[in-house]
Amino acid sequence: MTNEEMQKTMRFILDQQAQFTTDIQMLRESQAEFQRQVTEAQAAFDTRMGRLAEATLTTFGRLTEAQTRTEERLNTLISVVDRYFSEGRNGK
C-alpha cells in the first residue's frame, strides 16, 4: 500500500469516526428529549388519575350518603304502614 493510499484510508476512518460520534450525540439528544416527553406524559397521567380517584371517592361518598337517607326514609315509611295496619286502620 502506498503512502497516498494509507493517507486516504486513514482519512476515511477518521471521517467515519467523526460521523459515528456525531450520530451517537444526536441519538443521545433524541433519547433525552424522548425521556423528557415520557416523564411529562407520566406526570400528566398521574395527575389525571389522582383527580379521577378523588372524584370517584367523592361520588361514592355522596352515593353512600344518599343511600343511607333513602334507607332511613324507607324504614320510616315501613313503620308508618306497619302502624297503620296494626292499629286496625286497614279500611274497616
Question: Whole-structure pTM over 0.75, yes or no?
Answer: no
Confidence band (pLDDT; 50, 70, 90) for 91? low
pLDDT in tens, 52-88: 999 999 999 999 999 999 999 999 999 999 998 888 7
The pLDDT tens digits of the residues spanning 6-37 come to 999 999 999 999 999 999 999 999 999 999 99
> What's the half-sphere exposure (Cβ side, CA atoms, 13 Å) at 44?
6
46, pLDDT greater than 80: yes
Structural contact between residues 84 and 90, judged by C-beta atoms closer than 8 angstroms: yes
Q: Is 92's pLDDT higher than 90?
A: no
Residue with cell 304502614: 81
